Amino acid sequence: MASIDVCYSPELLHLYDLKGKAVVAVDILRATSTMVTAFAHGAKDIFPVMELEECRAFSGEGCLTAAERNGIKAEGFDLGNSPFSYMNGAVNGRSIAITTTNGTRAIRLSEAAEEVIVGAFLNLKTVAKHLKELALDVVVVCAGWKGQFNLEDTLFAGALVDYLQKDFAFENDATLASLHLYQAAKTDVFNFLRQSSHVRRLENLGIHEDVQFCLQHNLYEVLPVWRQDRLIDLKS
């Protein structure tokens, strides 16, 4: 039986051997939720990069550029990191280069894996189904906040374990704790997260709707995966 592990922060990745495994990279608020939404609204492919300058350089290649730091859209880029900015035909058929505070870093630091999948509550069931088909050992890599643990990514990890616990074994307590947290939260994830640091950070920035939107389960059948230098949607 394949196993599933949870890594609470990219800073802990050196403790995990990703070779031959499937990684699910997650940043619920908001990077991976936004990427899933972009593909659901027709984005062609997405280039997640670490640095602002790297992202800016893509504008010369007909790409839309998106950048966020500390929850705020960075100056001089076409888009920020709110899923709502990727709707209404804004990204249909377009390539997007994106850099965010944590999410794009979690994806790029997972490249050693056999398969890197972008996960969010919005595409939870689609990700779970793909993992069963792959039958590889899994590591859920939580983006966290600047190396710190965060609650929302951990709840997603718990939701995935909750879905897969009949098909995947788990040993480490990080996985067990995320499962228990999700089971405690699942009847009202929004209220469970109300006091969490990033929800308060976004609220202080006047960003309210994004939180509710990103906590919806199974809104899209989208499956972003890493291929060479970009993300593509395996379901398109």
Q: Which residues contact ligand MLT by CB under 6 A? A: 27, 29-31, 68, 71, 81, 100-103, 143
Q: How far is the CB of 133 from ligand MLT (least distance, A)?
A: 28
Q: How far is the CB of 69 from ligand MLT (least distance, A)?
A: 8
Residue nearest to ligand MLT (CB): 100
**Residue 213 corresponds to which amino acid?**
F
For ligand MLT, which is the closer residue by CB, 71 or 158?
A: 71
Copy the structure tokens of residue 31: 């990077």
Q: How far is the CB of 35 from ligand MLT (least distance, A)?
A: 10
Q: What is the DSSP string of 10-35?
A: GGGGGGS--TT-EEEEE-TTTHHHHH
Q: How far is the CB of 103 from ligand MLT (least distance, A)?
A: 4
Copy the structure tokens of residue 144: 């966290």
Q: In what order do the strands lie in the sheet with 4-7?
A: 4-7, 138-142, 22-26, 115-119, 224-227, 230-233, 45-48, 95-99, 64-69, 72-73
For ligand MLT, which is the closer residue by CB, 58 or 168?
A: 58
For ligand MLT, which is the closer residue by CB, 145 or 163?
A: 145
For ligand MLT, which is the closer residue by CB, 47 or 170?
A: 47
How distant, in Å, are the alpha carbons of 32, 209, 227 from that of 24? 10, 25, 14
